[in-house]
Structure 1
Amino acid sequence: MRSVLLLFTLFFSLHSLAQNEKILSKKGMIILEENKHIPYLNVKLTNGNFRYTDEQGIEKELLMKEVMYIEDEQNAKIFTNKTVVERYKKNEEKRLEEEKTATAERNLKKQEERAKLEEERKLKLLPNGIYYTKEDFLNKNPNSTEIIVPKGLIGFEKPELNGIPDVCFFYSKNSDKKIKKVFAIAYEGHLYFQIQAILNNRNKTDRAQTNDFPNSFSRVLIAGENYYYLESDLVNLWVQGVAYNMGATGTFIAQDLSSANVKLGRTQNFGSKKGIVWDIKNKEFNIFKNCNDYNDFIKNLYPDGIQECDKHQPDILKVREAIEKIK
């Protein structure tokens, strides 16, 4: 009899507590299983569910099985649904694993796309190797096939460059010595001409051009049966000389004539990126010194490629378009 009375008393107490709708917390946050946060006022337990007032003053109700946590104004947890918490953790672990897999798949796809693009960029004009002279180059006979690496132009410590640079130095991998006084290098399917070789083998009308890095290399961007096209930051020697002799005033004049070599970080370099073609038939380089010089080159080969010459240098993008037509 006493046991029955005790059970009845316990049931009556729990039932009364639920019916009294005692306020559990005056202000805080309800956190649902999907980690949604709901601000509340006066949350209370009613018939196994949570009733609260939202920020608009509307009274709402949530099933207990929907709620993961209830926190008060000091972020202290006043209710924790362990079943929901465990389910949320498992779902979150699954989501993170799926996200990790998806990220790995995206990265792999990007790598494959980059590799495909890089393969398409390879002109494969000559066997990989170092070509000491023009004759070696013409005979497609590399003098050395030692392992080489591209490095940047600027800085005392020159780190190896990733990918395929358009402009660089080449160093021996084993000795770490800079490659000098050669004609060309075929590297990873890409052809590079050394700047000094370009200057030594240019058309006789292309004098007065120089470069601060004669042992650097420029990559061939476009190639066909008639021409190999590349670009390099070249300086008009006479403009540079006048500017140096005139001091600061000359510097401003030279900078007005052609853009500074910003990429190399040298404000005193009065050159600009100029188009260069290796003329396969005539076995020489033709440097587009300025817009008029480019027009002289292109007018008979592709009249539609002639430019207006509003500026001293031609539009380099239009130059590339024209070369694609005549290459």
Structure 2
Amino acid sequence: MKLYILFALLFISSIVTAQEKEYPSIKKGDFPEGIYMTLEDVLNKKPSSTEEVYFRACEKCDSLDMPEKAFFYFKQKNKRVKVPLAVSHKGEMYFQTYRKYTNKKDNGYDPDQYSRFCKVLNYGRFIYFEENMKGLWSKALLGALTPLAYSINGKTKGIVLDLDNKEFNILQNCDDLNDFLSKHDLPEFQCNSETFTIGDLRKKIEEINLHYR
């Protein structure tokens, strides 16, 4: 009898495992070097152009080596890269924010500088980066100056590329974050938009993506 129960449990377990949904994911280094004009190019991991580029770091960036935000220039033309959605450069992927590729609820958000590219900070089920939005201000907790201490509902916004729905989502606040998690069959959690910081958001995204790398 015990042996029968054991086999039954193993059979049920195999069925559940087989029925588990597989999600697309992306690892750092998956994107060949080059310029990606459209979201379709990004999803196909095929650059539209391999024209050589270089970057100039934006003001007050934390790193001049591979900054989190940068402006790219065509090396041969010495002209700024303005239109493409993304640039893969020296193993790092950079995106700029376009309304046409974002979820409809996020159409009211625009970056405070156009043609600025933001480095991907986390890979996995969701590609994650951050951008500063126009017309918003940020409250730094405990008087800290680092953007990691800004609350989630401030100027700096976490943005995810949702590979399932092929669109970008701007995580506006805690309610929006939990709504996003719920729609992707991920557990919601208690969160206060005034005290939940960009640093906390990075940790949450890492917690999710870790299982898909």
Q: Distance in 1 between matches of 2:93 and 2:122?
A: 10
Cross-structure match for 2:66: 164
Structure 1 ranges of 4+ moved more than 3 A: 299-302
Larger Rg: 1
Higher relative CO (CA 8 A, sep ≥ 6), structure 1 or 2? Answer: 2
Paired residue for 2:39, among 134, 153, 157?
A: 134
How do 1:258-269 residues align onto structure 2 when only pairs under 5 Å count?
258-259=138-139
How do 1:69-84 residues align onto structure 2 when only pairs under 5 Å count?
none
* Identity in percent: 38
Residue 317 (structure 1) shift: 2.0
Paired residue for 1:296, among 166, 176, 179?
A: 179
Paired residue for 1:145, among 50, 54, 58?
A: 50
How do 1:1-327 residues align onto structure 2 when only pairs under 5 Å count?
123-154=28-59, 162-195=64-97, 197=98, 199-224=99-124, 226-235=125-134, 240=135, 255=137, 258-259=138-139, 272-299=155-182, 301-303=185-187, 306-309=189-192, 311=194, 314-327=196-209
Q: Secondary structure at the match of 1:205?
A: helix
Q: Secondary structure at the match of 2:102?
A: coil
Contact 1:130–1:142 under 8 Å retained in 2:
yes
Gap regions ≥5 residues in structure 1: 1-121, 156-160, 241-253, 264-269
Contact 1:146–1:172 under 8 Å retained in 2:
yes
Given the superposition, is the C-alpha separation of residues 310 and 135 from structure 1 closer, same or farther in structure 2, using an over 3 Å criterion? Answer: closer
Q: Which amino acid aligns with 1:318?
A: D
Gap regions ≥5 residues in structure 2: 1-26, 147-152
Residue 271 (structure 1) shift: 5.5
Measured against aligned partners, the alpha-carbon deviations of 1:127-181 in whole angstroms (never above 9, x if no partner) come to: 00001122222222212212211113349xxxxx841111111011222210011
Q: Which amino acid aligns with 2:104?
A: K
Given the superposition, is the C-alpha separation of residues 310 and 150 from structure 1 closer, same or farther in structure 2, using an over 3 Å criterion? Answer: same
More helix as a share of residues: 1
Contact 1:230–1:275 under 8 Å retained in 2:
yes
Residue 299 (structure 1) shift: 4.5
Q: Distance in 1 between matches of 2:85 and 2:191?
A: 34
Contact 1:233–1:274 under 8 Å retained in 2:
yes
Contact 2:129–2:159 under 8 Å retained in 1:
yes
Given the superposition, is the C-alpha separation of residues 164 and 154 from structure 1 closer, same or farther in structure 2, using an over 3 Å criterion? Answer: closer
